[in-house]
Structure 1
Amino acid sequence: MKLEMKDSPGQLVAALKPISDMGGNILSVIHERDPEADGGLLDVQIMCEISEGTLDTLLSQYRSQGISVLRVGEERFLVRRSIILIGHLIHTDISDTIDKIDSTGYAEVHELSMVMPAINEPSSAKMTIKSDCITDVNRALAILRDVAREKELLIIESLEGN
């Protein structure tokens, strides 16, 4: 779910409590405060598992609390795509590259495995990006392509789904 709520103390707990009260399982919460946002509102993404038939009750509780539900999906992070990066990954700050994907709020780096043959030799890494839909994975891959151009890294993309 993607929710919009007042940016004030206690609002996040108020959004999570009904899920818990219904016996739901909260799997992840993405809560980023945007200092540029106007209106004192905050977007929060919640991934949870709830029993069938409880969604309408949960949505009703949110409405009564003044929490707007912007999006409801069945499951999050269903789509994964792996790519290979080749170049001076450490020298060009691989953590910065990862942050550019993770900070989007709609995709994240799920796995990273790297081989570094020698200090002055190019490294290679397999990176897996995950999101809830192919559109957002493609948006994240577009960001990664831009970063690769900027950092002079080679990207090898899969021709088939991962």
Structure 2
Amino acid sequence: MKLEMKDSPGQLVAALKPISDVGGNIIAVIHQREPGPDNDTLDVQIVLELPEGRLDKLVVLLQEQGVHIQRVDEERLLYKRTVIMIGHLMHTDLSDTVDQIDSTGFAEVCELSMSMPSVNERSSSRLTIKAVSKDDMESALAILRRVCRQKSLFLIEPLEEIA
């Protein structure tokens, strides 16, 4: 969900409480404060899981709190790119590489396949990354490029045709 609310103390907590009240589970809260004298509202993205049939009740509760719902999406990770990494992936801690993308809150590795010819040979891995927006995808790929440089891994990107 993308929400707009007053930028005042306690407003974010007031917006999150109805999620709990309807039995929802908050996965991530993403907001960035835009400093300035004219900004009296705050945009917040909330990733959540809801039991079936509870969305309408949540919408009513949020509106009662004065929260404007800008968007409700079923799938937040709308942009997908697939890349290949080649190198000593296991020796350079593949889980750390994945964690650096997953920990962003706006992108995650959703598929991973790997080929390892032998212990001392280079391995290859096919990663599929999903992100919230095109800009977030570019940020995730920038993180992956940086990690590959640091770990001396070769990166082939993207495998999909970019529109």
Q: Could you state the TM-score of these two structures normalised by the residue count of structure 2? A: 0.67
Shift of 1:138: 1.1
Which one-letter code corresponds to 1:45 in the other structure? Answer: V
SS at structure 1 position matched to 2:119: coil
Q: What are the ranges of 5 or more consecutive residues in structure 2 without an aligned counterpart?
A: 4-10, 30-43
RMSD of aligned alpha carbons? 3.5
CA-CA distance at 1:130 after TM superposition:
0.6
Q: Determine if the alignment matches structure 1 residue 111 to structure 2 residue 108.
A: no
What residue identity is the alignment partner of 2:79? V
Spell out the pairing of 1:151-162 with structure 2 (5 A cutoff): 151-158=151-158, 160-161=161-162
Partner of 2:60: 57
**Secondary structure, counterpart of 1:100 in structure 2:** helix
Q: Residue 59 of structure 1: SS of its match in structure 2? A: helix
Structure 2 residue aligned with 1:45, among 47, 55, 78?
A: 47
Is 1:17 the counterpart of 2:21? The answer is: yes
Superposition TM-score, scaled by structure 1 size: 0.68
What is the deviation of 1:44? Answer: 4.6
The answer (yes or no) to whether the contact 1:5–1:43 under 8 Å persists in 2 is no
Task: Report if the CA contact (8 A) 2:19-2:26 is conserved.
Answer: no
8 Å CA contact 1:30, 1:105 repeated in 2 = no
Give percent identity, aligned residues only.
Answer: 44
Unmatched 5+ stretches in structure 1: 21-25, 33-41
User: Aligned equivalents of 1:115 and 1:14: distance in 2?
Assistant: 46
Letter aligned with residue 110 of structure 1: C
